[in-house]
Amino acid sequence: MNDWAPCFKHVRYAALALALLLNGCKKKELASAVSPPQVSVIEVQARDVPVSFEYIAQTQCSQLVNIQARVNGFLERRVYTEGKLVKAADVLFEMDAKPFKAALDEAEAALAQCQAAYEVASMNYSRTKTLTETKAMAQKDLDDARGAYLSTAAAVDQAKAAVETAKLNLSYTTITSPVSGITSAALQTDGTYIDTQNSLLTSVAVLSPIWVNFSLSENELQKYQSERANALLRTPKDGSFVVEIVLVDGSVFPYKGRITFAEPSYNIETGTFLIRTSVENPQGTLRPNQYVRARLRGAVRPNAILVPQRAVQESSKGQFVWVVNKNSKVEMCPVLVGPWYQDHWFILEGLHAGEKVVIDGGLSLQPGMPVAVAMQEAPESQPATSSPASHPED
């Protein structure tokens, strides 16, 4: 009997320990059942949110002027530096002017000869007219004098025109830029004889204003029109978007532009149509054929609902959010999401102002589960950038 006593003693201790362990587990289960999970919640607010639309774009010079020689002759020298900016009236090329100066001298001499003949004919006509009136000369003499007078007057006009032509030809030997812009390479070298076959010398591209072109697809336009028809998007009056140019390093170009042209028809190869923006570029920072991004500002999503992206979850039936009802229990609310910006979604359908949406702690929730709510401030209205279509001319 005494040999079994230690064994019974150990059994009693084991039973006591097991009872304490079971009791602790029940307390934990009870505590877990009593304490609802804590979630972070925001109250949905409907507000007007400014939005912008961003597109890949390419620059284009607003005017490309071909510089051509107007007269035939030898190209004496190139004055400008290739690839540099020039101003209107800056000299680009000079041609050999000596033949044209000689032609001008010859035309001026011919004009002086004609003017002398005209003065003689004028005086002769005046005298003959006086004598004819006194019957001292016949009417035929007056007619002859008048004919000579008119003929020499016409010769003077013709000689004057020849002088003007010679002056123009001489002026054409100094070739200037008609616009301010950036020059391309010279196509002819010094000493080349220039005629109609090789009269193109270079070109000047106007950089200010510069055009920024981007394209819209048919799907983008359809989405834009649908959102506007359903009052989900409000655009500026007359499509007067403010256009910002975003450079490759992410910086914003200091000058803003306006949409000046929309191609009326689609490109049959790409299914898109062209939108043109005009932007001032006084320092020539933007160059033709440069890739940038065009950001259109001025649109507003009226009465929009904006929630953090982490609040939206995915199920087999689509996207949804958890909404806390007045009894502090969660309900699954299907939503239709729209464009997004940074860490927020626009909710197009499913939520209304005043509803409380779970943004943190919603991964383990079940419908009807009570929760402990920690309220947070709703996201601020801030300009959002998205990629739905925007056809500014509609």
Q: What tens digit of pLDDT does each residue of 325-336 get?
A: 999 999 999 999
Average pLDDT over residues 157-181: 96
Segment holding 391, helix H or strand E: none
The pLDDT > 90 percentage for the chain reads 56
Residue that the structure tokens 């440069």 belong to: 290
**pLDDT for 5 beyond 70:** no
| Confidence (pTM) | 0.71
Query: Which parts of the chain fold into alpha helices (H)?
Result: 5-34, 98-133, 139-171, 218-229
Task: Write the pLDDT tens digit of every residue in 256-273.
Answer: 999 999 888 888 888 898
Residue that the structure tokens 């004028």 belong to: 122
Which range among 5-19, 118-132, 144-158, 178-192 shows the weakest confidence by mean pLDDT? Answer: 5-19
Closest CA to 370 of 105, 23, 35: 35
Higher local confidence (pLDDT), 321 or 22: 321
Residue that the structure tokens 């909404």 belong to: 323
CB 206 within 8 A of CB 179: yes
Tell me, what's the pLDDT at 7?
47
What domains sit in the chain, N to C, each tagged with a CATH number?
97-172 (1.10.287)
Task: Write the pLDDT tens digit of every residue in 213-222.
Answer: 999 988 888 8
Q: What long-range pairs does 25-31 form, CB within 8 A, spacing at least 24?
A: none
Cis ω before 6 (30° cut-off from 0): no
**pLDDT for 8 beyond 60:** no
Tell me, what's the pLDDT at 342?
72
Which band of pLDDT confidence, cut at 50, 70 and 90, is reported for residue 237? Answer: confident
Tell me, what's the pLDDT at 376?
83
Task: Write the pLDDT tens digit of every residue in 52-103.
Answer: 899 999 999 999 999 999 999 999 999 999 999 999 999 999 999 999 999 9
Higher local confidence (pLDDT), 390 or 329: 329
Distance CA 203, CA 179 (A): 10
Most confident range (mean pLDDT) of 21-35, 80-94, 216-230, 338-352 is: 80-94
Closest CA to 355 of 384, 380, 325: 325
